[in-house]
Amino acid sequence: MKKPISQLDSIYITTGSVDRPLAERIANKMGLDLNDDDIKVFPSGERYFRYVESVRGKHVLIIQSLTASKTGSVNDALLELVLMIDAARRSSAAEITVVSPYLAYMRQDRKARGREPISAAAVINLLQTTGAHRLVSVDMHSAQTQAVFDGPFDHLTAEGIIRKALKKRISDAYDNFVVVSPDGGRAKVAEQYAQLLDLEVVHIPKKRDVRDSATIHRPNSVEGVEGKTCILIDDMIDTAGTLVSAAETLNASGARGVIAAATHGLLSGPAIKRIQNSAITELFVTDTLPQEDHKALLGTMLTVIQTAPMTAAALEAIVAGGSVLQLFEGRNYH
């Protein structure tokens, strides 16, 4: 009979300085104590990390999303993660699993123009070269990026927990809602959500200005949304330009309300003000990124969905040699 994860002394779970509350929730769900390791920032801005207990022969789980936080920039978070991996490798850890619910730079997964990098590949190669044996992330912008990593790369999806939250919001009023894709790149995902929620789906075409990529052109109106509450589905919300422009088109088309839902709520730069001044009435995001400040500004308009139970279950399967695929009914590879 296998021991529960909480009884295994070969597991060492730790986190960086980006979002300790999320790491604590994950550790608690696994029945483990999150280690409080030594993290410093020198006056020069350089980072320091040290494991306070021995990790020799242990499976080290490092939880760190790559995002800007109160402790530094996204690049500070990346370097801190690199130092944590390097310290585990040099301290004879048996296995190093990096859990990065949000991996930065993953949108730059190809060369769109000459003489530019493939940043997603550069970051993944950096983590592997430093010593990571396995990567775990949630709803990457392009799942094909897994191919860069020469080892296990578990791609989790928050689709199920987001769908559950939306289903609770819809209740039994299915005729009053419709799923909307804000652009062609999210059409397939929107269709999957619509099918599983038993709703109709509408697609809004989007075209970026050739002279200014920040400018988005939409049709003046779309059919099939009049009198409906529209659910906009996306993988992430950064500056919110795409979602807000889609919401305005839906509002002009007679929509009753607009709900936006995404896994990663970066809400960078002008995003908060744009959302507050837009036709978006409700916002659903997960806690792959810290949301406390966003919640303080958006109040009841923002619903934050917890990913800890999902991530903890996946990590338990990984540690115990079980199947991650079965936890998501195969949908983490869609």
pLDDT value at residue 326: 86
Contacts for 111 with CB less than 8 Å, ≥ 6 apart: 117, 118
pLDDT of residue 301: 98
Beta strands in the chain (DSSP E): 11-15, 38-41, 47-50, 59-63, 95-100, 134-138, 153-156, 177-181, 200-203, 207-208, 216-217, 229-237, 257-265, 280-286, 302-305
19: CB partners within 8 A, 6+ apart: 65, 69, 289, 290
Contact 219, 183 (CB under 8 A): no
Name the nearest CA neighbour of 138 among 276, 315, 302: 315
Kindly give the parts of the chain with pLDDT less than 70: 1-8, 207-217, 330-334
Q: 90 vs 38, 57, 63, 196, CA distance in Å?
A: 16, 11, 18, 47
In the chain the domains, ranked by start, together with CATH numbers, are: 5-157+308-333 (3.40.50.2020), 159-305 (3.40.50.2020)
What is the rounded distance in angstroms from the CA atom of residue 283 to the CA atom of residue 258? Answer: 9
CA distance 77 to 83: 10
* Per-residue model confidence (pLDDT) at position 184: 76
> pTM for the complete prediction?
0.93
Encoded tokens for 234: 């996306």
Tens-place pLDDT, residues 58-114: 999 999 999 999 999 999 999 999 999 999 999 999 999 999 999 999 999 999 999
Neighbours of 111 (CB within 10 A): 10
Which residues carry out catalysis?
A: 206
The tens digit of pLDDT for each residue in 12-51 reads 999 999 999 999 999 999 999 999 999 999 999 999 999 9
> What integer pLDDT is reported at residue 205 of this predicted model?
81
